Chains A and B, each alone.
Chain A
Amino acid sequence: MSDQHTPEQATEVETTAVQAQPLQEAESRLQPIKWKFPITYALLALLSLSAFTFLSPTGAVTQFRLATASDFVTLPAVNIPSFAGALVLSLLQLGLAALAIYCAARRIKLGVWLPMLFGLFFVLAFLIYAGAGRGAFIPVVTLLAGALMLSVPLIFGAMCGLVGERSGIINIAIEGQLLAGAFLAAVAASFFTSAYVGLLAAPFAGAAVGGLLVWFAVKYHVNQIIVGVVLNVLVIGLTSFLYSTVLTQNSEMWNARQQLPRLPIPGLSQIPIIGPVLFNQTILVYLMYVIVFALHILVFKSRWGLRMRAVGEHPKAADTVGINVARTRIFNTVLAGGIAGLGGAYFTVGQGLAFGQEMSAGQGFIALAAMILGRWNPKGALLAALLFGFSSSVGQVLSTIGTPVPSEMLLMLPYVITIFAVAGFVGRVRPPAAEGVPYIK
């Protein structure tokens, strides 16, 4: 590792040189060393070594399938001896943990690559252990494709929450917005027998819920969390009511299945493993890439983003320089609702399913968790949502091939991680300062 100093350290050294202070004093003003992460790595590596390696049946083989039959490039299945594979991966983890401890002791900052690499090794070791001697293949492409599929509504939802909260409106109603989007997408697509019409209609449903939220929050200063919770109930009630009346009375007309076609991107979709996962998708998923990328740029680099963050952090200051706080919040929350509505479309037209009661099934709350875990940051929220999608996907795949770990535990994982995150274990999670506070002149 490079001998890079942290910026703080660099300034410390400079001031020491200029003012000729004793080095000890400068040292003593440093932050205490954070042992939390290195110790966590070490514990996880030991877990991997003890559980995944030594509990793998000796002589067992874990089989990975790297491509599906329809792929352009068909890679052969890979057989890995379970014990040896898990052992190597565990030792690699131990090495990374040792490196983390060494660097922490020397106060060397490490990049984001270490947790990512560590996570990859840990997950692989876990998969080897889970699939050891089962006689079934672990379908890697299906696993990854499933992870992306399950992440799509989460990512849309997290982006919605992010735009809302950055402008100071807490959005607990993401769940309702997803559900409303799913409903309207199904109905519109069925009525016009075109999935694309459904896709166009979905944002309006989400935006309508967002509009209600911001109307009560900005005009009547009602507690935003309460409005969000109640709006969820309202949307569930409305959609279920309409489902049991109109949609079931004439399901041919109002709730027939329509599916967005897959549009493989020539060239890119032929890359082995990631090609079919990322680039053989519907327009909705490509739209998601665009939205995440656009928000990544716009939130921090555009006038719109600056105003949004100003209104969310310090509305009074924003008002003083002539930004209309109420209008900014209303516009952004409605826009965010539209994004969530698009995500809702994934449940119906995105997957080619008819609408079902409460089909969003709590995804809106996981999206909220992803946004928090991603620290109100598009990139972070994306990664968190992918992580959640991946853990659900692993849970699903493993429950079909049968594993020693209950799938419920894997499905719980996102929530447990989020609790750890908000409890301050994964660094300090700081929401926008003025979120949830009505701005009253």
Chain B
Amino acid sequence: MSTEKKNNDPAEPGGALKEAESRLHYAVRELSQSSWVITLLSVVVALVVGALLILATNPQVQSTMGYFFAQPGDFFLTSFEVIRDAYSALFRGAVYDWQAATPERSIRPITETLVNAVPLILAGLGIAIGFRSGMLNIGGQGQIILGATCAAFIGYAYQLPLGAHLLLALVGGALGGAIWGGIAGVLKAKTGANEVIVTIMLNNIALYLLAWLLRQQWFVQTGSNQPISAPVEDSARLFGLLGGGFRLHAGILLAIAATVFVWWLLERSTLGFEFRAIGENPEAARTAGVNVPKATALVLIIGGGLCGLGGAAHLLGTEYRLGAGIAGTLGFDAITVALLGRSKPLGTFLAGVLFGGLRAGGVLMQAQTGTPIDIVLVLQSVIVLLIAAPPLVRAIFFLPNPDGKPRSTGRRRLRNQQAAEAAEQPTPTQEVSK
């Protein structure tokens, strides 16, 4: 990503260089800079990596490897079938199941995807606010745990009228997360404590706090020694949207509302402007009159609140009972969601849906083909690693670099340098979308 200004204006059509360059080359280069293309290619690479893993561990494929040289066709056919089965199960579990008995069942997967996406989107938005403000909130896990814990306790310990109960439980969850994020925020604002370390520590503290609470009878209110709480009252549950055999609940509306809210906050409000300002350049923000400590604390409070809301929605919408594993890997998944969504509200929403889909599909894939759902973690992390390093993706697919230079390898780089020195021709530069 070259940041130097080159003197050729890219907006000017028909520059000298563009004419010299073939149209196709130009189009490819344009394309290779689009973040959508990079994301798409990252997904492709991740699926290929996943396919290789599945092949390497599949016993059928291994047995055909035994007589590979006698009948190589067998190996390729089996491999193809194994991959096709696994990925078609992934798709059927996530989007549309064309093998299902009833039409209702065939559209159920997409609703399951959305169910999984709800906490991911909410928590992902919370993390994304932090990223946009230059703060790495690794504490999604702890904030989700606190959110779920508060929401659950309000959900089963109190008897309240229908609407108020749900509202109070959600607000309680958001507050729980906000407090947990706020600890890190206030410490960072007051003492400069590194938020990465503090949030990681708070994750573990939350884990033990939950374990301790689940052993307390006044807290779980079940009358048994099981480390699991009583179920939340019906009045505090997020109501189903489709009824019947569907689990899709009002949490998805909450997620959409939160996405719009975060968009408004970051793009349209003064506070969001301050957030982005301290993310870009805290010194400049301070000079411009932003109260940096206050904004710093608020970023983590609001981010924590959203993560807490994610935990609350997960509990009130799908789990109903609080257990030690309530957060699962949600907190870390939320980080990958925010990264994949490039910390933009809409991007985070879509990334949440994608990862929710992977998770929903992974369940069916595990059930039908025996491929462990852990492969989803591999896919997720490969995707995020690759989108963080666009040059790597371009290198994999032999796409041209954005600055128009050939990839810098040995002789080609030298030749290019010599040519550049000889011609001294300016190359057009494009804004690289991050």
B154 within 8 A of A: no
Q: In the complex, what distance in Å separates the CA atom of A222 from the CA atom of B198?
A: 22
Q: Across the interface, do B57 and A226 meet the contact criterion of CB distance under 8 Å?
A: no
Q: How far is the CB of A258 from chain B (nearest CB, A)?
A: 22
B187 within 8 A of A: yes
Q: In the complex, what distance in Å separates the CA atom of A415 from the CA atom of B141?
A: 15
Query: Known contacts A225-B138, A368-B197, A408-B211: does B380 contact A237 (CB below 8 Å)?
Result: yes
B406 within 8 A of A: no
Interface segment, A33-41, A289-297, A340-348, A417-425? A417-425
Q: Across the interface, do A226 and B339 meet the contact criterion of CB distance under 8 Å?
A: yes
Q: Main secondary structure on chain A at its contact with chain B?
A: helix
Q: Across the interface, do A237 and B374 meet the contact criterion of CB distance under 8 Å?
A: yes
Query: Known contacts A231-B381, A241-B53, A423-B191: does B196 contact A172 (CB below 8 Å)?
Result: yes
Q: Across the interface, do A237 and B136 meet the contact criterion of CB distance under 8 Å?
A: no
Q: Which B residues from 180 to 230 make CB contacts under 8 A with A?
A: 183, 187, 190-194, 196-198, 200-205, 207-209, 211-212, 215
Residue from A238, A241, A412 in contact with B205 in the complex, judged by beta carbons closer than 8 Å: A412
Q: Across the interface, do B391 and A412 meet the contact criterion of CB distance under 8 Å?
A: no
Q: Across the interface, do B376 and A237 meet the contact criterion of CB distance under 8 Å?
A: yes
Q: How far is the CB of B367 from chain A (nearest CB, A)?
A: 13
Q: In the complex, what distance in Å separates the CA atom of A203 from the CA atom of B392?
A: 26
A411 within 8 A of B: yes
Proximity string of chain A (235-254) to chain B, C-beta cutoff 8 Å, 1 when within and 0 when not: 01110111011100100000
Q: How far is the CB of A205 from chain B (nearest CB, A)?
A: 16
- How large, as a class, is the contact surface on chain B? 35 or more
Interface segment, B118-126, B258-266, B382-390? B382-390
Q: Across the interface, do A240 and B197 meet the contact criterion of CB distance under 8 Å?
A: no
Interface residues in A, total, Cβ within 8 A: 44
Q: In the complex, what distance in Å separates the CA atom of A408 from the CA atom of B209?
A: 7
A284 within 8 A of B: no
- Chain A's closest residue to B379 (CB) is A237
Q: Which B residues from 387 to 434 make CB contacts under 8 A with A?
A: 388-389, 391-392
Q: Which B residues from 353 to 383 make CB contacts under 8 A with A?
A: 371-372, 374-382
| Interface residues in chain A, defined as those with a beta carbon under 8 Å from any beta carbon in chain B | 172, 216, 219-220, 222-223, 225-227, 229-234, 236-238, 240-242, 244-246, 249, 362, 365-366, 368-369, 372, 406, 408-409, 411-412, 415-416, 418-419, 422-424, 431
Q: Across the interface, do B378 and A422 meet the contact criterion of CB distance under 8 Å?
A: no
Q: Across the interface, do B197 and A418 meet the contact criterion of CB distance under 8 Å?
A: yes
Q: Which residues of B contact A244 (CB under 8 A)?
A: 372, 374
- Chain A's closest residue to B187 (CB) is A423
Q: Which residues of B contact A246 (CB under 8 A)?
A: 57
Q: Across the interface, do B202 and A419 meet the contact criterion of CB distance under 8 Å?
A: yes
B59 within 8 A of A: yes
Residue from B194, B372, B391 in contact with A220 in the complex, judged by beta carbons closer than 8 Å: B391
Q: Which residues of B contact A408 (CB under 8 A)?
A: 208-209, 211-212, 215
In the complex, 20 of the A-B residue pairs with CB atoms within 8 angstroms, ordered by the A residue number, are A172-B138, A223-B388, A229-B138, A230-B336, A230-B384, A234-B377, A234-B378, A234-B385, A236-B374, A237-B376, A238-B378, A241-B57, A369-B200, A372-B197, A406-B212, A412-B209, A419-B183, A419-B198, A422-B193, A424-B192
Q: In the complex, what distance in Å separates the CA atom of A431 from the CA atom of B191?
A: 15
Q: Across the interface, do A220 and B392 meet the contact criterion of CB distance under 8 Å?
A: yes
| Interface residues in chain B, defined as those with a beta carbon under 8 Å from any beta carbon in chain A | 53, 57-59, 136, 138, 183, 187, 190-194, 196-198, 200-205, 207-209, 211-212, 215, 329, 332-333, 335-336, 339, 371-372, 374-382, 384-385, 388-389, 391-392
Q: In the complex, what distance in Å separates the CA atom of A234 from the CA atom of B336?
A: 11
Q: How far is the CB of A212 from chain B (nearest CB, A)?
A: 8
Q: Across the interface, do A419 and B201 meet the contact criterion of CB distance under 8 Å?
A: yes
Residue from B201, B204, B388 in contact with A216 in the complex, judged by beta carbons closer than 8 Å: B388
Q: Across the interface, do A365 and B200 meet the contact criterion of CB distance under 8 Å?
A: yes
Q: In the complex, what distance in Å separates the CA atom of A237 from the CA atom of B200?
A: 20
Q: How far is the CB of A105 from chain B (nearest CB, A)?
A: 26
- Chain A's closest residue to B389 (CB) is A220
Q: Across the interface, do B200 and A220 meet the contact criterion of CB distance under 8 Å?
A: no
Q: Which residues of A contact B375 (CB under 8 A)?
A: 237, 241
Q: Across the interface, do B197 and A245 meet the contact criterion of CB distance under 8 Å?
A: no
Q: Which residues of B contact A412 (CB under 8 A)?
A: 204-205, 208-209
Query: Known contacts A226-B339, A233-B380, A418-B201: does B372 contact A245 (CB below 8 Å)?
Result: yes
Residue from B192, B209, B335 in contact with A229 in the complex, judged by beta carbons closer than 8 Å: B335
Q: Which residues of B contact A431 (CB under 8 A)?
A: 194
Q: In the complex, what distance in Å separates the CA atom of A416 from the CA atom of B206?
A: 11
Q: Across the interface, do B388 and A240 meet the contact criterion of CB distance under 8 Å?
A: no
Q: In the complex, what distance in Å separates the CA atom of A419 from the CA atom of B191?
A: 11
Q: Closest 10 interchain pairs by CB?
A: A237-B377, A234-B381, A244-B372, A240-B374, A220-B389, A245-B57, A408-B212, A237-B378, A415-B201, A241-B374
Q: How far is the CB of B219 from chain A (nearest CB, A)?
A: 13
Q: In the complex, what distance in Å separates the CA atom of A6 from the CA atom of B116?
A: 61
- Chain B's closest residue to A242 (CB) is B57
Q: Across the interface, do A226 and B212 meet the contact criterion of CB distance under 8 Å?
A: no
Q: Across the interface, do B197 and A422 meet the contact criterion of CB distance under 8 Å?
A: yes
- Chain A's closest residue to B188 (CB) is A423
Q: Across the interface, do A232 and B332 meet the contact criterion of CB distance under 8 Å?
A: yes
Q: Which residues of A contact B381 (CB under 8 A)?
A: 230-231, 233-234, 237
- Chain B's closest residue to A175 (CB) is B200
Q: Across the interface, do A419 and B208 meet the contact criterion of CB distance under 8 Å?
A: no
Q: Across the interface, do A415 and B388 meet the contact criterion of CB distance under 8 Å?
A: no
Q: Which residues of B contact A406 (CB under 8 A)?
A: 212, 215
Q: In the complex, what distance in Å separates the CA atom of A389 from the CA atom of B375?
A: 33
Q: How far is the CB of B62 from chain A (nearest CB, A)?
A: 10
Q: Across the interface, do A216 and B385 meet the contact criterion of CB distance under 8 Å?
A: yes
Q: How far is the CB of B343 from chain A (nearest CB, A)?
A: 11
Q: Across the interface, do B389 and A222 meet the contact criterion of CB distance under 8 Å?
A: yes
Q: Which residues of B contact A419 (CB under 8 A)?
A: 183, 187, 193, 197-198, 201-202
Q: How far is the CB of A292 from chain B (nearest CB, A)?
A: 22
Q: Across the interface, do A241 and B193 meet the contact criterion of CB distance under 8 Å?
A: no
Q: In the complex, what distance in Å separates the CA atom of A223 from the CA atom of B134?
A: 11
- Chain A's closest residue to B136 (CB) is A225
